[in-house]
Amino acid sequence: MRKEFPRLLSEGTLGPLTLRNRIVMPAMDQNNCTEDGLISDKTLQHYEDRAKGGAGLLILETSAVKWPDGATSKHQPSLSSDAVVPGLEKLAERAHKHGARMIVQACHHGRISGLDISRDVPVLVPSTPIPSFDTLGMAHNTTTEELMKMATLTGGKLPTFKEASREELEEVIEAFVEASLRIKKANLDGIEIHAAHGYLISTFLSKAWNRREDEWGGSIEKRARLLSEIVRKIRKKCGSDFAIVVRIDGHEYGIENGITSDEASTTAVIAEEVGADAIHVSAISSSGTGVGFTEGPLPWERCQYSELAKTVKSAISIPVIAVGRIEPADGERLIAENSCDFVAMGRQLLADPELPNNLINDSPEKIRPCINCFVCVAQNFWNGEPVCAVNPRLGNYEEKVEVPKKLKNVVIVGAGPSGLECARMASNRGHKVTLLEQTRSLGGTALFSSLTTPKNGELINWFERILKDSEVVIRKNFLADSKSIMSFDPDVVVIATGSQSSKSNIKGSELPHVLSRDQLKALLQEANSSEIIKGRKNLSYLLLWLGRKSGLFKNVQKIRKLSKLWMPLG
Ligand SMILES: Cc1cc2nc3c(=O)[nH]c(=O)nc-3n(C[C@H](O)[C@H](O)[C@H](O)COP(=O)(O)O)c2cc1C
Ligand code: SF4
């Protein structure tokens, strides 16, 4: 039991809270509240799944303290009236029932307040004019369909900016305090003040956005005033048994004069002095582009912000929560190295809520991997509910999993990710499952794409492990047709044969040595490979022939390595 992750799975103290382990689920919008920002059954189910899965601390997604003012979406949780308390109370019950603690991320979204923009309300910023950045940056890598969906968020309107007045800032502070009292009344365990990601407090902390010369701008101490006033007043009103976490940007990328890691450390020191119990270190890119988004807040690299967390940790004595593609082994190491005290795992807990339990039960191999594909968060750009490429339950909580009245004989054709998942689910529910695959390997296009995106290969390996322990009968090298399918006498046939790629229009793709996606995929899987090799009379032909004969194409890792030296296949 608990051999590999002694630190990650040990109890931890965060202010007044004792957490059963060091795994934190960070705030992640699910956008599934009612039109009035009230907690829905879907919201409850989402968080209960993660509480049951064993995480120590859950942080409710970003919730608007002055909803609908300063809110990004109607469907995000509201904290602005007493009507929200009963829903939050249910949330507390569902989390506590399974031994998790739960706090609420509270925010004023400042310049990114979609609901204000849609209602022609100017959005609050520290200073006008705002710094020049690529306001249409996100549009450069976006399809027309996606752009249309994005436009619905704000009714197609562009923001107008208003320099926040002293009165408006006092109102914001008061709204945070009232929100905290509601959270406390609902029996939740504390608050996370969202001072990161380009929202109102974050823009006050940033020299790039805050060029004020009054008591709210200038030195970092003055720029941190909005944050420190909020923390101080909440501590005073809510007392010492209420946890206060502050989420900050450890660095602001993509803009001149953005927040530096030294400034982030000073902000953390100030927050500690005025009563914060922990600092959660994330990051932001203010470039406004799609690529910038992977600099912050949705990192692409493993442990992308760990150094930022370490820098902050060295400046303060309260605990630090690190975040940013931290997998369990990295989390264990980061705690051991004293880079942080707690580890937030966001997308991994969307992909597999049972991650902590699998570590506790010493079965890390059972954890369904997040493939770092950004499908979930893309929904947030157009007000959708996140769905997940590997976990079909995310965003589909209304679909009841019922015990089948009659067990069926299910035949599935195609062992790509959807066929594999279908087999896993049907077998879990007790059906008799036969999975037919025409090639010698599982995974379909996902296996092929693992050449460039190894994470996809991890997913296929996971399916292989899980199905090996199941009752599913897998028939590889099986070319299914109606006759062979009917020979299994199925009650249900699922066709999961995937898609075919369209012909590339990239210049040069017609050259004889260039292979299309489908051709390369077939080669790897040895389906129709003789036909593909036939007719290629140059060096590529020889290499392809050798590759097939030597069995090289059976090993994705070897092909990946070879392709780095020389790309003979394309
Ligand atoms: C679908 C989705 C929604 C998110 N919503 C929020 C949010 O409401 N507030 C916030 O501070 N961060 C939000 N984030 C960022 C996460 O809290 C986290 O910092 C980020 O995903 C990096 O952690 P990870 O690599 O472990 O996923 C969101 C991320 C995702 C994937
Ligand atoms: S697999 Fe993709 S969609 Fe699912 S959590 Fe990970 S990044 Fe998000």
The answer to whether residue 421 sits within a structural domain is: yes
Q: Out of 104, 248, 298, give the residue to mutate to test ligand 1, the one with the largest number of ligand atoms within 8 Å of its CB.
A: 298
Return the pLDDT at 470.
96
Report the separation in Å between the CA atom of 489 and the middle of ligand 2, taken as the mean of its atom positions: 37
Q: 547 and 489 share a domain?
A: no
Q: 273-297: buried (b, 16+ CB within 10 Å) or exposed (e) per residue?
A: ebbbbbbbbbbbbbbbbeebbbbbb
Residue 388 counted as domain residue? no
Is residue 305 flagged as an active site residue?
Answer: no
Mutate to test the pocket of ligand 2, among 376, 396, 463 (most ligand atoms within 8 A of CB): 376
The first and second tokens of residue 73, run together, are: 């979406």
Residue 269 belongs to some domain of the structure = yes
Give domain status of residue 509, yes or no: no
CA distance 335 to 344: 12
325 lines ligand 1 (CB under 6 A): yes
Q: Which ligand is nearest to the CA of 386?
A: 1
What is the Å distance from ligand 1's center to 35 Cα? 22
Q: Which structure tokens are listed for 292?
A: 């910038």
Q: Phi/psi class of residue 414: alpha, beta or left (left: φ > 0; alpha: ψ in -120 to 50)? A: left
Domain that holds residue 484: 409-495
What's the 512 CA to ligand 2 centre distance in angstroms? 37
Task: Please report whether residue 366 resides in a domain.
Answer: yes
Catalytic residue among 199, 305, 397, 541: 199
Separation of CA 388 and ligand 2 centre (Å): 5
Residues 111, 218, single domain; the answer is: yes
Cα–Cα dist 25/150, whole Å: 27
Instruction: Phi first, then psi: give them for residue 281, nearest 5 degrees.
Output: -105, 105
Q: Give pLDDT, residue 450.
A: 87
Q: Which atom in ligand 1 lies closest to the alpha carbon of residue 196?
A: 11
The CATH number of whichever domain residue 341 belongs to comes to 3.20.20.70
* Predicted pLDDT of residue 19: 98
The residue whose CA has the least distance to atom 10 of ligand 1 is 27
Q: Which two tokens stand for residue 548?
A: 């097939």
Q: 340 with 415, same domain?
A: no
Q: Do both 100 and 216 map to the same domain?
A: yes
The total number of structural domains that make up the chain: 3
Handedness of CA 141, 146, 151, 154 (dihedral sign): negative
Q: Which two tokens stand for residue 255?
A: 């803009």
248 lies in the same domain as 278: yes
Domain annotation covers residue 500: no
Q: Are residues 333 and 432 in the same domain?
A: no
Q: What is the DSSP string of 348-393?
A: HHHH-TTHHHHHHTT-GGGSPPP----HHHHGGGGTPPP--SS-TT
Q: What is the whole-number distance in angstroms between the Cα of residue 83 and the centre of ligand 1? A: 27
Q: Do 462 and 321 lie in a common domain?
A: no
Residue 6 falls within a domain, yes or no?
A: no
Residues 320 and 198 in one domain: yes
**Which amino acid would we find at residue 165?**
S
Q: pLDDT of 367-390, one tens digit each?
A: 999 999 999 999 888 888 999 999
Q: Answer yes or no: do 68 and 184 share one domain.
A: yes
Residue 356 resides in a domain: yes
- What CATH number should be reported for the domain holding residue 435? 3.40.50.720
Q: What is the pLDDT of residue 522?
A: 72
Using CA positions, which residue lies closest to atom 2 of ligand 2? 373
Q: Which ligand is nearest to the CA of 368?
A: 2
pLDDT score recorded for residue 138? 67
- Verify that 294 and 334 share a domain, yes or no: yes
What pLDDT does 545 receive? 64
Strands 23-25 and 278-285: unpaired
339 and 416 both lie in a single domain: no
pLDDT digits (tens, 9 = 90+) for 231-240: 999 999 999 9
- What does the pLDDT profile of the chain (570 residues) look like in tens digits? 557 899 999 999 999 999 999 999 999 999 999 999 999 999 999 999 999 999 999 999 999 999 999 999 999 999 999 999 999 999 999 999 999 999 999 999 999 999 999 999 999 999 999 998 666 666 666 777 777 777 777 778 889 999 999 999 999 999 999 999 999 999 999 999 999 999 999 999 999 999 999 999 999 999 999 999 999 999 999 999 999 999 999 999 999 999 999 999 999 999 999 999 999 999 999 887 777 888 889 999 999 999 999 999 999 999 999 999 999 999 999 999 999 999 999 999 999 999 999 999 999 999 999 999 999 999 888 888 999 999 999 999 988 878 889 999 999 999 999 999 999 999 999 999 999 999 989 999 898 888 888 899 999 999 999 999 999 999 999 999 999 999 999 999 999 998 777 777 888 888 877 777 777 777 666 555 566 666 565 556 666 666 666 666 667 677 666 666 555 443
Ligand 1 atom index nearest CA of 344? 26
Closest ligand, as measured to the CA of 373: 2
Which residues sit with their C-beta closer than 6 Å to ligand 2?
347, 350-351, 370-376, 388-390
Residue closest by Cα to atom 25 of ligand 1? 325
- The answer to whether residues 491 and 521 belong to one domain is no
